[in-house]
Structure formats: structure tokens, C-alpha cells
Amino acid sequence: MSVPVPASAPTHQQFALIGAGPSGLAGARNLQKLGIPFQGFEAHSDVGGLWNIDNPRSTVYQSAHLISSKRTTEFAEFPMADSVADYPSHAELRRYFSDFADHFDLRRHFRFNTRVLRVEPVDESAATRWRVSIDAGQGRIETAEYRGVIIANGTLSEPGMPRFAGQFDGELLHTSAYKSAALFEGKRVLVVGAGNSGCDIAVDAVHRARSVDISVRRGYYFVPKYIFGKPADTLGGKRPLPAWIKQRVDAMVLKWFTGDPVRFGFPRPDYRMYESHPVVNSLVLHHIGHGDIGVRPDIERLDGRTVHFKDGSARDYDLILCATGTSCTTRSSTAAGSTGRAWRRSCT
């Protein structure tokens, strides 16, 4: 049930909504249901955010799938079809978000191919309006005042590239640039970081690379996608357990299904289960156990094609792929003598 949204409310009565990815679509749908007028902005030409692989700012790759199951991820009022896989691919998710936008007629609320350049308060009062400047194309900058701003432009589009001592003469890339396993053909590959993307990509590399290692500096909890034949995140049923009980129960179940990753060379985690994102991937342990992937410590320095590790070992590589996280950069500035704030966002 939706409350009709005024078709032509002046901008100062509207909210500006930045982003048409999953969170932006959720925000749009809730504003729509409440009859609150809003104007959406999306830098790409369509909805889907990072799950739209054609979006230049998308960091998904050809083998990317959800790490949560469809039934714990879907919108409650728009369930995913039974034909969708338990862990949908990026293509299935792109189609799902497109269908969601069509079903609730959300696209008409967005200006696509429109990047938000600046957001700033008009004055210092608690009820201030917000001045939004956009790139309207062909060199035109448009500015309007809005009742408020909802920022849903994501947190996973800016590569967090580490700095290493020394110089590497091979290829040095961030996983945000990775799309296809063809990149690894015949190469000696080092993946830096063992988060979900790093482990997925290391598994991809096994089938094409000459050799694959993964460099880690901290411990991880590895969660299989299926436990007792069902998606692991549905363990315990629809009524979630209290966090402290779930931590203990799931940590015990992991010992039964995946064992102790320390025996493969991973450091022991210095945090408890769910205090950081677990790695929802048991294939990486399978390949490590079969000798297809080697586990290496943190990098000490680079020297030509040689990588020196902090345990004193060294090995040669053709490609270093940094799975070291992504973020969305926000720069805040305060005018002299003023408490007013202005934000410049580097991604929309």
C-alpha cells in the first residue's frame, strides 16, 4: 500500500535521494509508501548499483555471488522467485533489482546519468534545507535546495590500495579492477587479503594460473554456504538467536564443518565470531587442503618479481592482486568561523 506522492512538489519540499542501488531502491520504496516527495539521482544509466556489472563503478566480477542466501536478503514485500539460486549470481541480482524498480514504478523518480557533486546545508539551523549541486551533462551544473538528503551511494566503490616497500616489476592490481579469470592465464599469482572477494578470486585463479598464493596478516572465520543441506545463514530458523548465543553456537558448528584454519597456515583470529565479517567460502579451504593455494604471511617488501614475506621467506610472482577492501570517500570541509558543514562525495 502506497500513499500517492505529489507529482510536482517544489524541491524544497522534497528529499534528495542519492543512489539507485539496493539501499537507494529501498529508500525510494519507503518514501513512496509514506507519500513523501523525493528526487533520486544515479550516476549510472540504470538501477542496481554494484550488482550491475555494466556500471563503471561496479566492483563485481563474473563469478560473483551473494554471500547471504536469497531468503535472508530479499525485500519482504518482493520475494525472489523460487527459480533463483539459493546464493544468486550478480546477473540474477541485477535482474531482481530491475524487476523491483519496475514493479513499484521507481525509475520515474530518478534522474539517471546524473552525478551529485556537492551537498551542503543552507544555514546552521537544525531545520536547515540542503543545497544539492549536480552535473546535469554538457558542462551544466544545476543547484537546488531540498528538505533533506538521503545518501545511499554505497560503501564499496573506491579501492583501498595498500602501499608496499620496494618496487614490483610485474602487474600490481586491486580486485576492484578484476572481472574475469582470463587475467590469470599461466601466471604466478599472489592474492593479498583473504576476505570474501579475495578468497573467491583465489579460487577462480586456481583453474587458470600457474600457481596461486594468498597473503594474510590476520585470522578469519570460514563459514560454509551449506550446513545440513541448507543455506548456513538460515541455521536456527526464522527467529534469530541472541547475538551472544549465536556466536557460540555457530563457532562450535564451524569447528565440525571446517575445522581449524590455523592448521593451513592462517593466524588465529584475535576477535570473536561476527565481530568482523566471516568468509563465506569453504572452497578456498578445499583448494588449500589440496595444495592448489598456498598461504603466505604479510608482505615485508617487493623487489622486482620477488615478494619478501615477514617470516623471512620469499617467492617470485607475475601478478599481485590486492583484495584489500573498498570504500566510498567522503570529504568534509568547514568554512572558517562557521560550524556549517559541506560534503563532497567521490562516488554516487
Burial 63-99 (b: 16+ CB within 10 A, else e): ebbbbbbbeebbbeeeebeeebeebbbbebbbbbbbe
pLDDT of residue 7: 55
Evaluate whether residue 4 is within a structural domain: no
Evaluate whether residue 280 is within a structural domain: yes
C-alpha–C-alpha distance, residues 110 and 235, integer Å: 38
DSSP 280-317: --SHHHHHHHTTSSEEE--EEEEEETEEEETTS-EEE-
Residue 262 and residue 307 in one domain:
yes
pLDDT of residue 236: 67
C-alpha–C-alpha distance, residues 47 and 61, integer Å: 17
Number of domains in the chain: 2
Cα-based distances in Å from 1 to 20, 29, 67: 21, 11, 31
Neighbours of 282 (CB within 10 A): 17
Residue 32 and residue 49 in one domain:
yes
Residue 333 and residue 239 in one domain:
no
C-alpha–C-alpha distance, residues 38 and 148, integer Å: 9
pLDDT of residue 253: 77
Q: Domain of 242? A: 159-326
Residue 321 and residue 183 in one domain:
yes
C-alpha–C-alpha distance, residues 343 and 130, integer Å: 11
Instruction: Residue 68: give its domain's CATH number.
Output: 3.50.50.60
Residue 132 and residue 258 in one domain:
no
Residue 140 and residue 167 in one domain:
no
Evaluate whether residue 6 is within a structural domain: no
Evaluate whether residue 3 is within a structural domain: no
Evaluate whether residue 322 is within a structural domain: yes
Residue 118 and residue 164 in one domain:
no
Residue 30 and residue 96 in one domain:
yes
Residue 118 and residue 167 in one domain:
no
C-alpha–C-alpha distance, residues 201 and 73, integer Å: 23
pLDDT of residue 3: 58
Residue 322 and residue 332 in one domain:
no
pLDDT of residue 164: 96
Residue 138 and residue 19 in one domain:
yes
Evaluate whether residue 2 is within a structural domain: no
Rounded average pLDDT per 10-residue block, the chain, 348 residues: 65 97 97 97 96 93 95 96 97 98 98 96 95 93 97 80 95 95 98 95 97 95 89 74 74 79 91 86 93 97 98 98 73 35 39
Residue 222 and residue 241 in one domain:
yes
Evaluate whether residue 208 is within a structural domain: yes
Evaluate whether residue 261 is within a structural domain: yes
